[in-house]
Amino acid sequence: MTNTVPDRPALEWMYSTMLLAKMADERAALEARKGLLQAALYPVRGLEAVCAAMGVAMTDQDQMVSSYRNLGDALSRRIPLRTIIAEAYGRMGGTSKGKGGTMHLTDTERGLVATTGIVGAGMPIAVGLGLAAQLDKSNRAVVVTFGDGATSIGSAHESFNLAALWKLPVVFVCQNNQWGEHTPLAGYAANPNLAERTAAYGMAAEAVDGFDPMATLHTIGRALDRARAGDGPSFVECRSYRLTGHSGLSDYSYVPKEELAAALERDPAPTFRTWLEQNGHVDSATLQNIEHAAEATVDEAFAFAQESPHPSQDELLLDVYASPEGVPTR
Give which of 229, 228, 153 is closest to 194, Cα–Cα.
153
Count of residues that interact with ligand TPP, criterion CB under 6 A? 13
237 binds Mg ion (CB under 5 A): no
- The nearest distance, CB 173 to Mg ion, in angstroms, is 13
Which residues in the 149-168 window bind ligand TPP by CB under 6 A?
A: 149-150
Smallest gap from Cβ 149 to Mg ion, in A, equals: 5
Binding partner at 171 among Mg ion, ligand TPP, none, C-beta below 5 to 8 Å by kind: none
Q: Of 177 and 297, which CB lies nearer to Mg ion in the complex structure?
A: 177
Piece in contact with Mg ion (CB under 5 A), picked from 11-19, 178-186, 199-207, 212-220: 178-186
Binding mask of the shown chain, residues 107 to 126, with x at each position contacting ligand TPP by CB under 6 A:
----------xxx-------
The reply to whether 147 sits near Mg ion by the rule CB under 5 A is yes
Nearer to ligand TPP, 11 or 208 (CB): 208
178 within 8 A of 241, measured Cβ to Cβ: yes
First to last CA, the chain: 41
Q: Which 69-108 positions form the footprint of ligand TPP (CB under 6 A)?
A: 69
When asked if residue 180 is in the footprint of ligand TPP (CB under 6 A), the reply is yes
Partners of 260 in the beta sheet? none
Q: How far is the CB of 67 from ligand TPP (least distance, A)?
A: 7
- Taking alpha carbons only, the member of 78, 55, 18 closest to residue 268 is 18
Q: Which does 218 bind (CB under 5 to 8 A by kind): Mg ion, ligand TPP, none?
A: none
Round to whole Å and give the CA distance between 183 and 181: 6
* Interaction between residue 148 and ligand TPP (CB under 6 A): yes
SS3 of the chain: the string is CCCCCCCHHHHHHHHHHHHHHHHHHHHHHHHHHCCCCCCCCCCCCCCHHHHHHHHHHCCCCCEEEEECCCHHHHHHCCCCHHHHHHHHCCCCCCCCCCCCCHHHCCEHHHCEEEEECCCCCHHHHHHHHHHHHHHCCCCCCEEEEEECHHHHCHHHHHHHHHHHHCCCCEEEEEEECCEECCEEHHHCCCCCCHHHHHHCCCCEEEEEECCCHHHHHHHHHHHHHHHHCCCCCEEEEEECCCCCCCCCCCCCCCCCHHHHHHHHHCCHHHHHHHHHHHCCCCCHHHHHHHHHHHHHHHHHHHHHHHHCCCCCCHHHHCCCCCECCECCCC
Taking CB under 5 A as the rule, does residue 148 contact Mg ion?
A: yes
Residues making up the chain, counted from first to last: 330
Q: Which residue is nearest to ligand TPP (CB)?
A: 147
Report 101-120 residues binding Mg ion (CB under 5 A).
none
Assess 177 for contact with ligand TPP (CB under 6 A).
yes
Q: What are phi and psi of 204, to 5 degrees?
A: -65, 135
Q: Which does 10 bind (CB under 5 to 8 A by kind): Mg ion, ligand TPP, none?
A: none
Out of Mg ion, ligand TPP, none, what residue 192 binds, judged by CB under 5 to 8 A for its kind, is none
**Under rule CB under 5 A, residue 12 binds Mg ion:** no
220 binds ligand TPP (CB under 6 A): no
CB 246 → Mg ion: shortest distance, Å?
8
Window 230 to 249, contacts with ligand TPP (CB under 6 A)? 246
Query: Is residue 147 involved in binding ligand TPP (CB under 6 A)?
Result: yes
Q: How far is the CB of 174 from ligand TPP (least distance, A)?
A: 9
Q: Which residues bind ligand TPP (CB under 6 A)?
A: 69, 117-119, 147-150, 177, 179-181, 246
Q: Which residues bind Mg ion (CB under 5 A)?
A: 147-149, 177, 179-180
